[in-house]
Amino acid sequence: KAGVTQTPRYLIKTRGQQVTLSCSPISGHRSVSWYQQTPGQGLQFLFEYFSETQRNKGNFPGRFSGRQFSNSRSEMNVSTLELGDSALYLCASSFHGGDYGYTFGSGTRLTVV
Amino acid sequence: EDKVVQSPLSLVVHEGDTVTLNCSYEVTNFRSLLWYKQEKKAPTFLFMLTSSGIEKKSGRLSSILDKKELFSILNITATQTGDSAIYLCAVEDPWGGSEKLVFGKGTKLTVNP
């Protein structure tokens, strides 16, 4: 079966711009969560969506937002980009309650210049 | 604040060696502990541990959880160059019914021929 698909793979943006990243989960998976990975901080939780509802949010500023659609696809948006937002953004999907683990996509590498 | 600490942060061994990677955690809510291998971008799932003392095995890899002492180890026997990767430990926090992973910083394993 198809894995978790993230688009685009790479992005270069200028400070102050905004960006939208997309994540398509494995078919049948209803939970999608997002993580930011940087060399200094490792993987940090951004937010989690289930059935179009945000159930949890990490300790990130309000410039980071997301949503989930009825087909479980999810998008995350970062507004007013800062240099420190440069990172690998990973999304993960799970079937139910994480009982079968979480499957990660290959990520979107965002570079802010 | 939830915390997952992995040690060592990096490790260099020769092919054929056996390695033990450590993961300790302090979290308010615990459902499971997961191990992932990250070679380029997408972390790939290795193990999910929920019960103490039950070893999980997959080929040359094995892992065990101690919920009393709040740690887990990942063993890799007869290492190969293909085992070179970052190994990530994560604890699943089910707070509020959501699905959130708290990650350690990872252990970078380098296996030299």
pLDDT (tens digit, 9 = 90+) per residue, A31-74?
A: 999 999 998 899 999 999 999 999 999 999 999 999 999 999 99
Nearest to A94 among B36, B99, B103 (CB): B99
Digit-by-digit pLDDT tens for chain B (113 residues) are 889 999 999 999 999 999 999 999 998 888 899 999 999 889 999 999 998 888 999 999 999 999 999 999 999 999 999 999 999 999 998 877 777 899 999 999 999 99
| Closest Cα in chain A, distance from residue B46 (Å) | 9
Hey, are the CB atoms on A102 and B34 less than 8 Å from each other? yes
∠ CA B39-B49-A46 to the nearest 5 degrees?
Answer: 60
**B-contacting residues in A 63-92 (Cβ below 8 Å):** 88, 90, 92
CA distances from A110 to A8, A67, A103, B87 (A): 9, 19, 21, 23
Residues of B in contact with A92 (CB under 8 A): 101
∠ CA B104-B109-B111 to the nearest 5 degrees?
Answer: 170
Hey, are the CB atoms on B103 and A88 less than 8 Å from each other? no
Residue with tokens 């394993």: B109
